[in-house]
Structure formats: structure tokens, C-alpha cells
């Protein structure tokens, strides 16, 4: 008897929410919290315009965000007509 299902127990390494390795006190807000931008930055790449926060959120300098689960938060900078750049 050959069983095709015998290999299915091999793949168990893909977990969804493992980005929280926070060791700060008090702990940083989680990525799904409204407060997520208050997490400590753990990596900063000003030349590329983004920071990696402790909770796994990528925070871009235009205030856009990329969450650990792949969700994209649109930039929510304050309305200021002077900051509109006319690139053309
Ligand atoms: Zn933290």
C-alpha cells in the first residue's frame, strides 16, 4: 500500500504572527493596534525612506505603512497644501 498522505506532516514552519519579539518595557503596541506607530524603531533606513518598527511594521517617511501580514496602510500625513510637490 502506498499512501500519498504520509508526507503531509513535514511542513510546519510557516507561522503567521511571529514578528513580536518585543523586549521593551512597557511592551510596544502590536501591529494590529491603532497605536502601532508608537513602537520602537529597530532599524532605520533614511536613505530608503523607511523604518522597521519593533512590532514588525514598516513605517515609510510619507507615513505610509506596511504591516507584517502584508496589509498596506495609505499615507496619512496631515493636510498641508504647501507640501504638495508638483513633480512635472
Ligand atoms: Zn518593542
Rounded to the nearest angstrom, the distance between the alpha carbon of 52 and the centre of ligand 1 is 11
Does the pTM surpass 0.85? The reply is no
How many Å lie between the centroid of ligand 1 and the Cα of residue 40? 5
Answer yes or no: is pLDDT of 69 > 70: yes
Give the residue extent of every domain in the chain.
Answer: 35-75
d(CA 65, CA 51): 10
- Arithmetic mean of pLDDT, 68-82: 81
Tens of pLDDT along 7-42? Answer: 555 544 444 444 456 899 999 999 999 999 999 999
Beta bridge partners of 59: 51, 65
Amino acid at each position: 500500500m502506498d499512501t500519498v498522505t504520509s508526507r503531509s506532516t513535514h511542513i510546519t514552519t510557516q507561522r503567521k504572527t511571529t514578528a513580536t519579539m518585543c523586549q521593551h518595557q512597557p511592551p510596544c503596541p502590536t501591529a494590529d493596534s491603532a497605536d502601532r506607530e508608537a513602537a520602537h524603531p529597530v532599524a532605520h533606513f533614511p536613505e530608503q525612506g523607511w523604518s522597521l518598527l519593533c512590532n514588525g511594521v514598516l513605517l515609510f517617511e510619507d507615513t505610509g505603512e506596511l504591516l507584517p501580514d502584508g496589509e498596506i496602510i495609505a499615507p496619512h500625513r496631515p493636510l498641508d497644501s504647501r507640501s504638495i510637490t508638483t513633480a512635472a
